């Protein structure tokens, strides 16, 4: 890219044609497996929140989990450490996002199927130049990693695919 910022079209091309299956490192898998063991006796909502916290930490991104008006967000402060958030307009847009979490969740999960999906630009309810990687969970809950379009899609898709196995066969 010779120092240029890739366009949304370039990211869409990458996701459609270059996204590679990636295996998570042992420490990440271990932390998720520990979360599964330790959250076994929690109700499903609390269990999803625990997984969201681990995913946010491992993705170095914000994570939203919820259904309808039942929304939980974690890792949001990590967004403001990214170079993209040096821009005041981006900071304001992300802050407004917090005020409209229910609408954001609806936009992220509109017509979602059972796979992990990546949504960019107009295909999500996030501010311009942002994207989300989303997984459908039981009872119409969804877990989304979101942040600037410049994110590690290979890792985020692998992370959510690994989380997915802890909710099977409940995941549709």
Q: How far apart are CA 76 and CA 54, in angstroms?
A: 13
pLDDT for the residue 172:
44
Q: Confirm if 144 and 59 have CB atoms less than 8 A apart.
A: no
Q: Confirm if 147 and 131 have CB atoms less than 8 A apart.
A: yes
pLDDT bin (cut points 50, 70, 90) of residue 159 is very high
pLDDT for the residue 102:
61
Query: Average pLDDT in the 62-85 region?
Result: 86
Q: Is the pLDDT of residue 1 over 60?
A: no
Q: How far apart are CA 102 and CA 115, in angstroms?
A: 22
pLDDT for the residue 110:
58
Q: How far apart are CA 154 and CA 29, in angstroms?
A: 15
Does the N-terminal peptide bond of residue 165 adopt cis geometry, omega within 30 degrees of 0?
Answer: no
Q: Is the pLDDT of residue 113 over 70?
A: no
Q: Is the pLDDT of residue 93 over 60?
A: yes
Mean pLDDT lowest among 31-45, 79-93, 138-152: 79-93
Q: How far apart are CA 151 and CA 14, in angstroms?
A: 12
Mind giving me the DSSP string for 58-93? HHTSEEEEEETTEEEEE-HHHHTTSGGGGSHHHHHH
Of 104 and 25, more confident: 25
Query: Average pLDDT in the 79-106 region?
Result: 75
Query: Average pLDDT in the 125-152 region?
Result: 84
pLDDT bin (cut points 50, 70, 90) of residue 124 is low
Q: What letter would DSSP give residue 2? A: T
Query: Average pLDDT in the 128-137 region?
Result: 85
pLDDT for the residue 106:
61
Burial of residue 64, with CB atoms counted within 10 A of its CB: 0-12 exposed, 13-18 middle, 19 or more buried: buried
Query: Average pLDDT in the 26-50 region?
Result: 93
pLDDT bin (cut points 50, 70, 90) of residue 161 is very high
Q: Confirm if 161 and 116 have CB atoms less than 8 A apart.
A: yes
């Amino acid at each position: 890219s010779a120092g240029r910022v890739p366009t949304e079209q370039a990211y869409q091309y990458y996701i459609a044609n270059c996204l590679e299956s990636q295996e998570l490192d042992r420490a990440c898998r271990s932390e998720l497996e520990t979360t599964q063991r330790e959250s076994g006796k929690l109700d499903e909502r609390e269990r999803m929140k625990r997984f969201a916290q681990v995913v946010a930490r491992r993705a170095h991104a914000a994570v939203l989990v919820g259904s309808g008006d039942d929304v939980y967000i974690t890792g949001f402060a990590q967004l403001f450490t990214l170079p993209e958030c040096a821009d005041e307009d981006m900071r304001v847009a992300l802050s407004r996002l917090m005020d409209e979490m229910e609408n954001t969740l609806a936009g992220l999960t509109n017509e979602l199927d059972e796979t992990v999906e990546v949504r960019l630009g107009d295909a999500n309810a996030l501010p311009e130049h942002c994207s989300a990687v989303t997984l459908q969970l039981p009872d119409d809950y969804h877990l989304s990693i979101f942040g600037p379009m410049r994110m590690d899609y290979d890792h985020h898709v692998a992370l959510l695919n690994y989380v997915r196995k802890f909710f099977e066969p409940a995941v549709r």
